[in-house]
Structure 1
Amino acid sequence: MSIAKPIIAITMGDGAGVGPEIIIKALQDQEMYEISAPFVIGDAKRLEQANQIVNGNMKVRVIESVEEACFEYGTVDCMDLNLLPADLPFGQVSAEAGNAAFRYLERAIQLANDGKIDAICTAPLNKEALHKAGHIFPGHTEILAKLTNTEDFSMMLSAPKLKVIHVTTHIGIIDAVKQINPKRVYTVIKLAHDTLKKAGYQNPRIAVCGINPHAGENGLFGYGEEEEKVVPAVEQAQKEGIHAVGPLPADTLFFRTTRGDFDIVVAMYHDQGHGPVKVLGLEAGVNITVGLPIIRTSVDHGTAFDIAGKGIADELSLKEALRQAAELAPNRVQ
């Protein structure tokens, strides 16, 4: 099989949630097949149910291997793990669905390790269901890190005109400032550089935020955090030929990046990076885990049990996640 487009495995996530529906809806858009070669790792029966629920016109085709996939618009190739009971109710936490979501991701990692796929795009899972099945992880990111033996990784948010990678994420602001250090800042700068290089950027332009207002303004704000925690990391990256600049004031940096001055922003803490991306629209933001051996993108929402099985879930975030996976996946030469 010779495929020029990136091969993307879409994991179905929790089958009791909206994952199956948004997958069918997203793949009804022909653009997804024009930019990538997508297939689903999940349960074929559930996808067929979802196809009926959304009044779709897609044919679900069971495959045993990536080589069997046809990647043709109108057909959803499904690597069927057949783990869900036929009568699994929508909108309810179940150990069966939690275990299945884990196994879909596990299979995707196996395929990645074998060089069969170029990126993974994940539909949402449910933490309670995951834990009920005995898989004690906070979410997708930690599972992926564990299964790939990855220690240095980071969350990247991507919207059409803005990419942001984070030094810290889900911790309080006081703890975040304590955890920021030159080693971690350098690691994230390097992750940003390597990720964009693999995606085809010749010399990624990386802008690094300050911690304090106006990036400290030469010690006027804060207690010298920029000089202590950020400057050494930027200087180390520059010595290695990485096009990194900073620390720069965050209040103007995101505007400059959307204008085209930079390719990616290194944010110091959660809200510094998340706020600007979400202003651009919740449906436009995509969660990306970088530092893994493979690109992983995800929808920026949960399983939405309250509307699962009703056919009304919005597929726009999944479509954007597929676009970003296709953009960031290493170039595949035919």
Structure 2
Amino acid sequence: MTSLPLAVTPGEPAGIGPDLVLQTAADAAWPGGLVAFADPEALARRARELGVMVTLHEWAPGAPLPSSGLPVYPVPLAQPAEAGRPDGANAAATLAALDRAVEAVLAGHCMGLVTGPLSKAVISDGTSRPFSGHTEYLAERAGATGHPVMMLIGGNLRVALVTTHLPLRAVPDAITGDKVIRVVRTTAEALIEDFAIPEPRILVTGLNPHAGEGGHLGHEEQQIIEPALERIRQELGDRAHVEGPVPGDTAFTPRCLREADTVICMYHDQGLAPLKQQAFGGAVNVSLGLPFVRTSVDHGTAFDLAASGNAGGGSFREAIALARTLAANRARATV
């Protein structure tokens, strides 16, 4: 398993994703074992703009890897990509690169998938289909039967989310007992198998200030979250320890974090604001509940930095390293 390459998609071709792929491939201090699913001409043009020397080799699933350079599975763009200037005409090809990468991973040609940043607006406008994010799209393409969960990892934090990219006004209606149970279950299983953490300790936040304060500041804790946590505790038994709901403003205190392997939060900013304050630029996005390992960067397309040579690659390299670790752990857990 670990001898297989990782599939890498640069994401939005006008953003910094191509820079991250090329700069990593050109760094002699980093091992090979990456295959880019992208337009070779677009990568070559960006390499020239960056002044990066990388030899690109056309690659097909099952073919041996070259001894040097970057193997590329060619997925042509509809229009030449200009750094910093997104073009909706390339949205379909950007998704096609993801599709080909998923196919290669599911077929056993790659050990996992590392994705560069996408622009949800460009994809939605360019394909006339709503696009809420990588996690949901990959779950659909992979035919995942479970509930995919978005987790970010950085510093000493692992943060998973019950709801992801929703307007804040829509969050309470999106939180159901079944959804809380599915997220806790998926997170527990991933911590055990992919992260090799026996009997993980999971801390779950409430939705409202002070976790509802006994119903005085909201009823979601009493009516939805607490009953769901009691049900999942009974299901998991001794396999995992689930605590909550705890107030969101105390979940990230040192005392609480010492007693937790992960924190599950009810909505996007509740969990990711403290994580990014601690680890932005070096955190990793992980999709739990997929039939393959997928990691990604913790930042967006940064059009203003594309082709400038100033794109920091810390998060991308952390994503590569974590994907390899998770793939190895999953392989051992399934033997």
Classify the TM-score, shorter chain. 0.7 to 0.9
Indicate whether 1:205 and 2:201 are aligned.
Answer: yes
Q: Distance in 1 between matches of 2:8 and 2:129?
A: 22
Task: Report the counterpart of residue 108 of structure 2 in structure 1.
Answer: 115
Indicate whether 1:144 and 2:138 are aligned.
Answer: yes
50-59 or 269-278: bigger deviation: 50-59
Code of the residue aligned with 1:236 in structure 2: it is: R
Partner SS state of residue 25, structure 1: helix
With the length of structure 1 as denominator, give the TM-score of the two structures: 0.85
Number of aligned pairs? 326
In the alignment, which of 47, 60, 63 is matched to residue 64 of structure 1? 60
Task: Report the counterpart of residue 45 of structure 1 in structure 2.
Answer: 41
Indicate whether 1:90 and 2:88 are aligned.
Answer: no
Alpha-carbon contact 1:121-1:325 (below 8 Å) kept:
yes
1:69 deviates by: 1.9
Q: Distance in 1 between matches of 2:155 and 2:204?
A: 19
Code of the residue aligned with 1:75 in structure 2: it is: G
Alpha-carbon contact 1:165-1:265 (below 8 Å) kept:
yes
Partner SS state of residue 329, structure 1: helix
Alpha-carbon contact 2:13-2:86 (below 8 Å) kept:
no
Task: Report the counterpart of residue 222 of structure 2 in structure 1.
Answer: 227
1:120 deviates by: 1.3
Q: Distance in 1 between matches of 2:228 and 2:121?
A: 38
Equivalent residues in 2 for 1:166-177, closer than 5 Å: 166-177=161-172
Q: Distance in 2 between matches of 1:317 and 1:17?
A: 15
Alpha-carbon contact 2:2-2:324 (below 8 Å) kept:
no
Partner SS state of residue 58, structure 1: coil
- Change in CA separation of 1:279 and 1:202 when aligned onto 2, cut-off 3 Å: same
In the alignment, which of 151, 157, 164 is matched to residue 156 of structure 1? 151
In the alignment, which of 232, 239, 249 is matched to residue 237 of structure 1? 232
Q: How much is the aligned-residue C-alpha RMSD, in angstroms?
A: 2.8
* Structure 1 unaligned regions, length at least 5: none
Q: Distance in 1 between matches of 2:269 and 2:308?
A: 33
With the length of structure 2 as denominator, give the TM-score of the two structures: 0.85
Indicate whether 1:78 and 2:95 are aligned.
Answer: no
Partner SS state of residue 303, structure 2: coil
Task: Report the counterpart of residue 21 of structure 1 in structure 2.
Answer: 19
Q: Distance in 1 between matches of 2:322 and 2:114?
A: 9
1:296 deviates by: 2.1
- Change in CA separation of 1:125 and 1:68 when aligned onto 2, cut-off 3 Å: same
In the alignment, which of 153, 162, 182 is matched to residue 187 of structure 1? 182
Indicate whether 1:252 and 2:240 are aligned.
Answer: no
Partner SS state of residue 10, structure 1: strand
- Change in CA separation of 1:198 and 1:84 when aligned onto 2, cut-off 3 Å: farther
Partner SS state of residue 124, structure 1: coil
1:306 deviates by: 2.9
1:20 deviates by: 1.2
Task: Report the counterpart of residue 8 of structure 2 in structure 1.
Answer: 10
- Change in CA separation of 1:118 and 1:261 when aligned onto 2, cut-off 3 Å: farther
Task: Report the counterpart of residue 259 of structure 2 in structure 1.
Answer: 261
Alpha-carbon contact 2:9-2:114 (below 8 Å) kept:
yes
* Structure 2 unaligned regions, length at least 5: none
| CA displacement 1:270-295 (0-9 Å, x = unmatched) | 22111111111320232332222223
Partner SS state of residue 127, structure 2: coil
Task: Report the counterpart of residue 291 of structure 1 in structure 2.
Answer: 289
1:182 deviates by: 1.7
In the alignment, which of 121, 124, 143 is matched to residue 117 of structure 2? 124
1:264 deviates by: 0.9
Task: Report the counterpart of residue 270 of structure 1 in structure 2.
Answer: 268
1:18 deviates by: 1.9
In the alignment, which of 301, 304, 314 is matched to residue 302 of structure 2? 304
